[in-house]
């Protein structure tokens, strides 16, 4: 989505894409998805041409869905029914769903964290607890791996 923070997207993309150079693990088919055929612009101004439009394209199987943080994850992104439905659909078949920083708000709004422990960007934890009072959101950790859901404080933990 527009406003995605660079490292929250590029760090996992880099790590997963480099599996093509590892003999000991299966290489990954890494790709980007969004709700448009047009480029999106990161918060820092990098223009990204997505590989797939989740509204109209037939997508490859998603084993790991990464939800990077973005500028509007605490407001208008949480009203994007197309994105939230895409995340819910991806969750049905994915082995893991991971969010970085405030991407956890998207997972919470989509209902994926209802029975899981999670975390988010440290200064937004109280906001997340107010928005989603029934969730088990913990402070003072950099990441949480609960079942298939991995949430993190973002930044370096994106790697």
Model confidence at 159, pLDDT cuts 50, 70, 90, reads: low
Of all residues in the chain, what percent carry a pLDDT higher than 70?
98
Identify whether 1 is part of a domain.
Answer: no
Q: Residue 82 corresponds to which tokens in the numbers above?
A: 């197309």
Kindly calculate the radius of gyration of the chain based on its CA atoms and give it in whole angstroms: 15
Q: Give the domain CATH number at 54.
A: 3.40.50.880
SS3 (DSSP) at 96: strand
Residue 105 lies in a domain: yes
Separation of CA 46 from chain center: 18
10 in any annotated domain? yes
Tell me the average pLDDT across 143-154: 94
Helices (H) and strands (E) in the chain, counts: 4, 10
Give the range of the structural domain holding residue 121, as residue numbers without chain letter.
Answer: 6-158
97 in a structural domain: yes
Count up the domains in the chain and report the number: 1
* Beta-carbon contacts of residue 38 (< 8 Å; ≥ 6 apart): none
As a whole number, mean pLDDT of residues 107-132 equals 96
Candidates 133, 127, 88; CA nearest to 107 is: 88
- Residue 147 included in any domain: yes
Share of the chain above pLDDT 90, in %: 77
Digit-coded pLDDT (tens) for 79-95: 999 999 999 999 999 99
pLDDT at position 158: 65
> What pLDDT is attached to residue 156?
72
Confidence of residue 125 (pLDDT cuts 50, 70, 90): very high
């Amino acid at each position: 989505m527009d406003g995605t923070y660079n490292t929250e997207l590029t760090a996992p993309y880099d790590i997963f894409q480099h599996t093509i150079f590892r003999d000991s693990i299966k290489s990954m088919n890494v790709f980007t998805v969004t709700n448009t055929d047009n480029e999106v612009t990161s918060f820092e101004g990098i223009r990204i041409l997505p590989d797939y439009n989740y509204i109209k394209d037939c997508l490859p199987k998603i084993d790991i869905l990464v939800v990077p943080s973005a500028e509007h994850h605490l407001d208008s992104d949480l009203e994007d029914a197309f994105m939230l439905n895409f995340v819910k659909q991806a969750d049905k078949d994915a082995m893991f769903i991971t969010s970085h920083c405030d991407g956890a708000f998207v997972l919470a709004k989509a209902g994926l964290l209802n029975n899981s422990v999670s975390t988010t960007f440290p200064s937004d934890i109280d906001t997340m607890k107010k928005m989603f009072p029934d969730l088990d959101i913990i402070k003072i950790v950099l990441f949480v791996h609960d079942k298939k859901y991995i949430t993190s404080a973002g930044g370096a933990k994106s790697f």
